[in-house]
Structure 1
Amino acid sequence: MNAGQPALRLSGREVFFYVFLPFASGHYLSALLRTVNAVLAPDLVASLALSPAQLGLLTSAFFVSFALVQLPVGIALDRYGPRKVQLVLLAVAAAGALMFASGDSFLELMLARTVIGFGLGGCFMAAVKAISTWIDPARLPSVQGFLIAIGGLGAASATAPVRAALHYMDWRGLFVILALLLACTAFLIWSATPRLAQAPKAKSDVPVIASIAAVYRDPAFRKTISLILIPHAVFFGIQGLWIGRWLSDVARFPDHAVVYLLYLSMAAVIFGAIAVGMITEWAGKRGVKPLDVAGIGIALFIAVQVAIVCNWKPSFQLLSVLFTLIGTITGIEYAIVAQSMPKSLTGRAATCLNLLIFVGAFVVQAGFGLLVGLWEPNHLGHYPATAYRVAFGVLVLLQLPGLLSFALRRSRPASAAAGLSIRLPSTP
């Protein structure tokens, strides 16, 4: 038996309770903590007199630390396995949550938020690594679809449930409870997840930098990111902020209608992620590759954005939900990478991918705001539809080359096969 292979075979029920559920719980809490500041913003401003710039910097500190920790986490996952790595990282996140609960200044809260980001930086990748160890690779897309859906549930839990909890406690008490939940999740992963037959090697014959470079040079990795990376960054960057602003500024919906549509969007993420996994698995049984499924989904995702650029007024509500529903196809990127890369590099490959996605999402979110800001708002503070049409148009132009390159690659094998059949001499 090779190093890092399962010591025993688990039934589907055992994989769910001993592997999927513990690691999915970590991903759930990660998504909740990533988005909780949107609801807590009024309380944080009132408690510490934060300026809008400070509030923005405080919230973004999570993403910066989350991105920075990706490569070290990937290396650790490959060397020590997800069980040990998550025990340490979730303990760090719990400490960060306690720091946040006791913070009395902007700098203290920003430091705590950074620590939380470091501690939660491996939740999704550790889950991917653990799950891919114990299940058939052909089932990865559907299982990871459920994992992404649980992340959507965590983000949804950071809205109305958190607001309801604040009727019984302040934000400091909330973070104490979150710290306890993080610690309990770390213990659950350590105690419930089966140990591997042999621990992953502490050292690799390939130097760390060389192995990371090998990930980026791998043809399967490059084909995957050339098609899906930019749409994935667009999905993360726009869904988390600008769809709501677009509904307010362009569609001119009142605040309660915007909140309702954003709730629907969260539900769309959950159901969309599950549907993508099931469709991909169904297509795989019929000989359709996951990357081909992704190509169709990306084309539809871009089509939704083209409709936004065209200012399709009769269906503003539908477009806002379709953006998140179809945009969940980008989550298939993780499954494709996990299936196509060598087992010894799956953790590193997944975290390299995560690093690119989060950096890309930051660029998209900031760049979109800069483009919209080139126009002047009206007396109510609403930016014109033209500003959003231009910004979405730029995003469409950035995504089209990857889709066109994918289409050209798909057409080449058929053309080459046709040419080969013509040139081959007949057998005597």
Structure 2
Amino acid sequence: MRPRVWPALAALTGAFAMSQFFRSCLAVMAPELSRDLSLDPAGFGALSSAFFMAFALAQVPVGVAFDRLGVGRPTSVLLAVGVAGGVVFSSAPGGVWAMLGQAGLGVACAPVFLGLIHYASGHLQERVYLRTLAISNGLGMLGVLFAASPLGWAVQHFGWRPAMLMATGCMAAACVAVWRTVHDSGHAEAHGASAATLLRETFALLKVPALWTLVPVCLGMAAGTTFRNAWGGPYVADVFGLDPVSRGSAMTAISVVAFACAFALPLLARRFGSTAVIVGNMLVSMAAGLLLAVMPDTSLLLGVALLSILAAAGTLHPIVMTAGRTMVPAPVRGRALGILNTFVFMGMAAASAGYGWLARLGLRSGRSPGAVYASLFGLAVAVLFTALLPFLWGHWRRRRPA
């Protein structure tokens, strides 16, 4: 392998860490953000949803761009869009401008993990690829850790706007690093095709039955991830009354579990297979969600511990993407991963907004915060269960003798 690949992978890993930060940062500063921008629970849900919806809608165009142009140029351009989005979000006078900034950040983060997988799979041998992906995924989760206690401390002492401006500066540095190090040119088979042809071929991938076995998981795991990305902070603030620093500590505990899972799950998948890891992770997450639905306000320690397990459903993301890349030929791999990622982040957008509407409905009906969040946890379990059933059915159909 040529030495120049490693700086490129390091730059993409750094950009992935920033993507993880911006996915998760709203959870810690939700009460302060909602107060300054005059947002009710549904408004906060819509704000979080704007990031994930923009992320989702960008996936197919990004996949086309990767196959045709390579990873470096599209990723650099979209990271630059994110720098502008971060400035808009940090200075937003109200909810509409904040949503616009979040949409810009979502577009910027859209190519990063997909680009990391795409670039690594094209430049590394299989045995090195899986190990490198596990390391990069784990290091990328450092962004989630910085979006916990360090961000809570910054919000407490300086406010959320300066904290987000500093994070935007880090995204600018990641943009420069990707621009300087990631130099590739896509697949030769895609160079001569028109954009319309590439899009037509992309949507033709929806006819691949194997990909549809992963789609329910892509949608379902968002039910847990959304508590780490957005609703975990409001939960510990509303139910247990935590301030920004304490919320940061709680989100750090949740992020540490995600960090450990990010390293462990790819290794477990190599030993036991992707299917066993996906099923096991979702069952354990469902069990934690059921306990939270039954006793959401029993104790802070128990609540955070169970929420950590429920949120770990989102750490299946690299397992699902790795499984997806084996189902299609290399010239359309970027677009296939883009389709799967679209469903992942559409699920997150729907969960963020749906939890907000459900929370607002509960508060307006006079229910206690604990009862409101119990309904959110119950919905998460229902979504996970609904996602798991078709995945198991598809696996059984593939294993059944002809």
Deviation of 1:300 after TM superposition, in Å, equals 3.7
Q: Select the structure that is richer in helix.
A: 2
- Return the alpha-carbon distance in structure 1 between the equivalents of residues 116 and 81 of structure 2: 17
In the alignment, what sits opposite 2:204?
214
> 2:340: which partner in 1?
353
Task: Measure how far apart 1:22 and its partner are.
Answer: 0.3
Aligned partner of 1:339 among 287, 312, 326: 326
Change in 2 beyond 3 A, CA 1:332/1:140: farther
| Alpha-carbon offset, residue 265 of structure 1 | 1.3
Q: Could you tell me which residue of structure 2 aligns to residue 10 of structure 1?
A: 2
Is the CA contact (8 Å cut-off) linking 1:224 and 1:333 kept in structure 2? Answer: yes
Letter in 2 for 1:218: V
Cα drift, residue 223 of structure 1: 2.5
Name which of 359, 362, 386 aligns with 2:349. 362
1:279 has 2:271 as partner: no
RMSD of the TM alignment (CA)?
A: 3.6
Per the alignment, do residues 373 and 116 of structure 1 end up closer, same or farther by CA in structure 2, a change over 3 Å counting?
A: closer
Residue number in structure 2 paired with 1:321 = 308
Structure 1 residue 305 displacement after superposition: 3.9
Q: Equivalents in 1 of 2:87, 2:288: separation in Å?
A: 42
Max radius of gyration: which structure? 1
Identify the residue that residue 399 of structure 1 maps to in structure 2.
387
Using a 3 Å threshold, how does the CA distance of structure 1 residues 297 and 51 change in structure 2: closer, same or farther? closer
Structure 1 alignment gaps of length 5 or more: 1-8, 417-428
Counterpart position of 2:126: 137
Task: Provide the residue aligned with 1:113 in structure 2.
Answer: 102
TM-score using structure 2 length: 0.81
TM-score (norm 1): 0.77
SS at match of 1:51: coil
User: Does structure 2 retain, via aligned residues, the 8 Å contact 1:22–1:188?
Assistant: yes
Please show how residues 18-417 of structure 1 align to structure 2 within 5 Å: 18-41=7-30, 44=33, 50-52=38-40, 54-166=43-155, 171-195=160-184, 201-204=190-193, 207-226=197-216, 228-242=217-231, 253=240, 255=242, 260-281=249-270, 283=271, 289-308=273-292, 318-325=305-312, 328-368=315-355, 381-383=369-371, 387=375, 390-406=378-394, 408-409=396-397, 411-413=399-401, 416=402
Question: Are the equivalent residues in 2 in contact too, given 1:230–1:398 (CA < 8 A)?
Answer: no
| 8 Å Cα contact 2:149/2:248 also seen in 1 | no
Distance 1:58-1:306 versus aligned 2 partners, 3 A rule: closer
| C-alpha distance in 2 between matches for 1:69 and 1:219 | 23
User: How many Å separate the matches in 2 of 1:219 and 1:136?
Assistant: 27
Q: Which amino acid aligns with 2:11?
A: P
The 1:37–1:320 alpha-carbon spacing in structure 2 relative to 1, beyond 3 Å, is: closer
User: Does 1 or 2 have the higher relative contact order (CA < 8 Å, sep 6+)?
Assistant: 2
Partner Cα separation in structure 2 for residue 50 and residue 384 of structure 1: 20
CA shift for structure 1 position 383: 1.5
Closer/same/farther in 2, CA of residues 278 and 184 from structure 1, 3 Å limit:
same
The structural deviation recorded for 1:117 is 2.1
* Unpaired segments ≥5 residues, structure 2: none
> How far did residue 241 of structure 1 move?
4.4
Aligned-residue offset at 1:24: 1.1
Contact 2:253 2:308 in 1 (8 A): yes
| TM-superposition CA deviations, 1:366-409 (whole Å, max 9, x none) | 44555666667767543168645743552354134224304523
Shift in Å, 1:75: 1.0
SS of the residue corresponding to residue 324 of structure 1 reads: helix
Give the aligned residue type for 2:77. V
Q: Report the Cα offset of residue 152 of structure 1.
A: 2.8
Q: How many Å apart are 1:21 and its aligned residue? A: 1.1
Output the amino acid matched with 1:24: T
Mean Cα deviation higher: 119-128 or 373-382:
373-382
3-state SS of the aligned residue for 2:337? helix
What is the alpha-carbon distance in structure 2 between the residues aligned to residue 40 and residue 371 of structure 1?
20
CA contact (8 A) 1:75 1:347 kept: yes
Tell me the distance in 2 between the aligned counterparts of 1:355 and 1:135.
Answer: 25
| SS at structure 2 position matched to 1:207 | helix
CA shift in 2, pair 1:64/1:409, >3 Å: same
Using the TM superposition, name which of 211-220 and 159-168 deviates more: 159-168
- Does the CA-based 8 Å contact 1:70-1:122 persist in structure 2? yes
Give % identity.
22
Residue type at the aligned position of 1:143: T
Say if 1:351 and 1:255 are closer, same or farther in 2 by CA, change over 3 A.
same
Structure 1 pair 55/19, CA: closer, same or farther in 2 (3 Å)?
A: same
Cα distance in 1 for residues equivalent to 2:279 and 2:352: 23
Instruction: Output the amino acid matched with 1:298.
Output: M
Q: Distance in 2 between matches of 1:33 and 1:317?
A: 21
Equivalent pair of 1:272/1:326 in contact (CA under 8 Å): no
- Structure 2 CA distance for aligned equivalents of residues 30 and 317 of structure 1: 23
Secondary structure of the equivalent of 1:10? coil
Q: Check the 8 A contact 2:219/2:387 in 1, yes or no.
A: yes
Q: What is the CA deviation profile of residues 50-108 of structure 1, one whole-angstrom value per residue up to 9, with x for unaligned ones?
A: 33355544443222222222211111111101111112111111122233345445444
> How much does 1:170 deviate?
5.2
Q: Counterpart of 2:331 in structure 1: which amino acid? A: S
Query: What is the SS of the residue equivalent to 2:221?
Result: helix
Q: Secondary structure at the match of 1:204?
A: coil
The Cα offsets for residues 196-224 of structure 1, whole Å up to 9 and x where unpaired, read as 59877433278233212222222331233
Contact kept, 8 Å, 1:62 with 1:116, in 2: the verdict is yes
